[in-house]
Amino acid sequence: MAMPPRRSAGHDESDPQHASAETAIVGAGMAGLALARALAGNGRRVVVFDKGRGVGGRMSTRRDGPHAFDHGAQYFTARGPRFREQVQGWCDAGVAAEWRARFVALDGGRVGADPRPGPRFVGVPGMNEVLRELGRGLDVRFDLRVSALVRHEARWRLRSAEGDELGAFARVVVAVPAPQALPLLAQAPALVRRVAAAEFAPCIAMLLAFERPLEVPFDAAFVAHPPLRWLARDSGKPGRAPGERWVVHAGPEFSTQHLEDDPRALLPELFEAFGAAIGLELPPPLSIDAHRWRHALPTRVLSDGPAWDAGLGLGYCGDWCRDARVEAAHESGLELARLIDASG
């Protein structure tokens, strides 16, 4: 049974071409959308499926009542010329801006200098805005978890977690974190062997809103001591709604150790660690919530980048093919688009 598309990011459902899109991309994160845009720009018909309710993936912006948080990626840098140009385009379009803030290193009680190079950029008014921009006009279908790719008569049939048929495609790209890519690539053992080399660490995030600004001499900090790794005044990023909101990330050891716990049960411990790290007796928060990123950051990336098997019409891309960064995800998508175009 062919499923009607669910909520979609701006395609014309009366367009008969969508019934015969030749390329399906699983994953509407930075890698999948950069790929989709590049392929569509070269005249290919593409449809993107994502299990989420909107674009973003690990660059999502999450709402907790009236409060919005960048609870995954905190910022992005642009080291290569192509991504720099892309970021400049987003800044010109008003969907990204440089995040100029007081960045520090926190080590025990000591406040040290910013240990990493900038400039740093964020989506405006939320991190996911750059992905909205990237996905504009593309056929992106949400609330659809692809659970299987089945080879049938030289095409790939996509099946949803509910067992529905999502269509048959000449080409499929899996643009999801490596552990989630493995079951989808099951019919291509050579690809599975390569993807299995990638490893991820989890991250538990704590999202906090306060009535008044916290009086600290910084806006974001790389934290040297477990259980925390990072904390930032999310409301201080450019173009955010007024308020005092913080995002706190636990480090990989703590997050791994507590991966199967209810993340909300970890809030008292993380709240206490936050106060201790910034040296403040914290006031009761207006809101407090937690999020578990099961596959947050690749800790081991592939040495040979994204891959395309032209014979099978199957490939993969994602940050884990290059580096644990937004820019790497973007570049992996563009690299795969070149491989696909070169294969005809």
Ligand X SMILES: Cc1cc2nc3c(=O)[nH]c(=O)nc-3n(C[C@H](O)[C@H](O)[C@H](O)COP(=O)(O)OP(=O)(O)OC[C@H]3O[C@@H](n4cnc5c(N)ncnc54)[C@H](O)[C@@H]3O)c2cc1C
Nearer to ligand X, 52 or 305 (CB): 52
Please name which of 27, 23, 9, 22 lies closest in space to residue 318, comparing C-alpha atoms: 27
User: Would you say 337 and 35 are in contact if contact means Cβ atoms under 8 Å apart?
Assistant: yes
What 13-18 contacts at long range (C-beta under 8 Å, 24+ apart), as own/partner pairs, is 17/45, 18/45, 18/47, 18/139
Q: Which amino acid type is present at position 155?
A: R
Q: How far is the CB of 144 from ligand X (least distance, A)?
A: 6
Which residue is it, tokens 């600004």? 213
Strands 121-123 and 96-98: antiparallel
Nearer to ligand X, 209 or 220 (CB): 220
CA dihedral 238, 240, 243, 247 (to 10 degrees): -80
Q: How far is the CB of 284 from ligand X (least distance, A)?
A: 25
Nearer to ligand X, 221 or 297 (CB): 297
Q: How far is the CB of 254 from ligand X (least distance, A)?
A: 13
Distance CA 306, CA 302 (A): 8
Query: CB under 8 Å to 28, separation ≥6 — which residues?
Result: 9, 36, 48, 49, 50, 52, 55, 56, 57, 131, 135, 140, 142
Nearer to ligand X, 69 or 210 (CB): 69
Which residue is it, tokens 């477990």? 226
Q: How far is the CB of 289 from ligand X (least distance, A)?
A: 14
Q: How far is the CB of 121 from ligand X (least distance, A)?
A: 10
The site for ligand X (CB under 6 A) is made up of: 26-32, 49-52, 57-59, 72-76, 145-146, 175-177, 180, 203, 205, 249, 293, 296-297, 318-319, 324-326, 329
First and final CA of the chain: distance in angstroms?
A: 30
**Could you give the C-alpha distances from 68 to 4, 126, 204, 208, 268, in angstroms and in order?**
31, 8, 17, 10, 21
Q: How far is the CB of 77 from ligand X (least distance, A)?
A: 7
Nearer to ligand X, 197 or 280 (CB): 197
Nearer to ligand X, 252 or 285 (CB): 252
Q: How far is the CB of 59 from ligand X (least distance, A)?
A: 5
The tokens describing 136, both together, are 């504009």
Nearer to ligand X, 14 or 303 (CB): 303
